[in-house]
């Protein structure tokens, strides 16, 4: 679960960086989007093949992450034969307490996001087959799309903040009070960078800074 989680955090950071190319203009953003689906690793692999290899790899990571969560949850429930006599809530962050439900919500939004920009079945203000830049502008010019995206990104970042800390702890990095403090700070930095990086583009479109 730790390894697949860190793989997805790495993907989010790359995805965020790619989104920022919208500030370079339509040509740069469209070129980047088409490049992702075309010439990566060409001629080592046929044109358009890498994106499918990457999608399968990411899908396997997501399925493995969900499966790991289900297995760990099952182990936690089977480890206790009866309900706790004391139900006092432990000193946990909100993100830690809502990791499971947060993951379910994220999965639902992810499906919507893929249907929106990848499959183009859910067209939020654009026509199927539109250029990537046009899809972004049309979608985030609508306040409800930007608001839904903000909620989703906020949940993602809460999930990431706790997930990064937990993953690195699981992999043995939490070896002292100093290391614990560093890991907690690192998790917060990654979560904040992702939130700002993902939200600056839709907000720029919403307020007319990018047209």
What domains lie within the chain, and their CATH numbers?
2-79+92-206 (1.20.1300.10)
* Average pLDDT taken over every residue of the chain: 88
Gap between the Cα atoms of 9 and 5, Å rounded: 6
Average pLDDT for 119-134: 94
Closest CA to 205 of 107, 115, 124, 106: 124
Gap between the Cα atoms of 198 and 81, Å rounded: 43
Gap between the Cα atoms of 174 and 182, Å rounded: 9
Give 100's pLDDT tier (boundaries 50, 70, 90): low
Residue 179, pLDDT above cutoff 60: yes
**Maximum CA pair distance of the chain?**
64
Residue-wise pLDDT tens digits, 3-29: 999 999 999 999 999 999 999 999 999
Gap between the Cα atoms of 164 and 9, Å rounded: 8
Closest CA to 192 of 148, 146, 158: 158
pLDDT for res 26: 97
Query: Concatenated DSSP letters for 1-68?
Result: -HHHHHHHHHHHHHHHHHHGGGGG-HHHHHHHHHHHTTTTTTTTS-TT-HHHHHHHHHHHHHHHHHHH
Give 30's pLDDT tier (boundaries 50, 70, 90): very high
Gap between the Cα atoms of 144 and 19, Å rounded: 19
Q: Which residues are CB-neighbours of 198 under 8 A, at least 6 positions away?
A: 16, 19, 149, 153, 156
How many degrees, rounded to 5, is the angle at CA 91 between CA 193 and CA 168?
A: 45
């Amino acid at each position: 679960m730790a390894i697949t989680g860190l793989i997805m955090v790495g993907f989010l950071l790359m995805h965020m960086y790619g989104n920022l190319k919208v500030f370079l203009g339509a040509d740069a953003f469209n070129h980047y989007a088409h490049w992702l689906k075309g010439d990566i690793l060409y001629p080592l692999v046929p044109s358009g093949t890498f994106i499918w290899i990457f999608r399968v790899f990411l899908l396997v990571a997501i399925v493995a992450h969900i499966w790991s969560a289900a297995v760990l949850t099952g182990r936690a429930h089977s480890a206790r034969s009866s309900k706790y006599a004391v139900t006092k809530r432990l000193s946990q962050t909100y993100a830690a307490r809502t990791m499971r439900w947060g993951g379910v919500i994220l999965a639902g939004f992810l499906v919507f996001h893929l249907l929106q920009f990848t499959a183009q079945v859910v067209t939020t203000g654009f026509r199927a087959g539109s250029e990537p830049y046009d899809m972004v502008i049309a979608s985030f010019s609508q306040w409800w799309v930007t608001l839904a995206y903000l909620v989703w990104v906020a949940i993602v970042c809460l999930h990431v903040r706790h997930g990064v800390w937990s993953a690195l702890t699981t992999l043995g990095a939490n070896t002292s009070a100093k290391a614990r403090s560093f890991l907690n700070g690192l998790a917060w930095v990654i979560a904040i960078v992702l939130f700002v990086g993902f939200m600056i583009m839709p907000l720029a479109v919403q307020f007319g800074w990018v047209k």
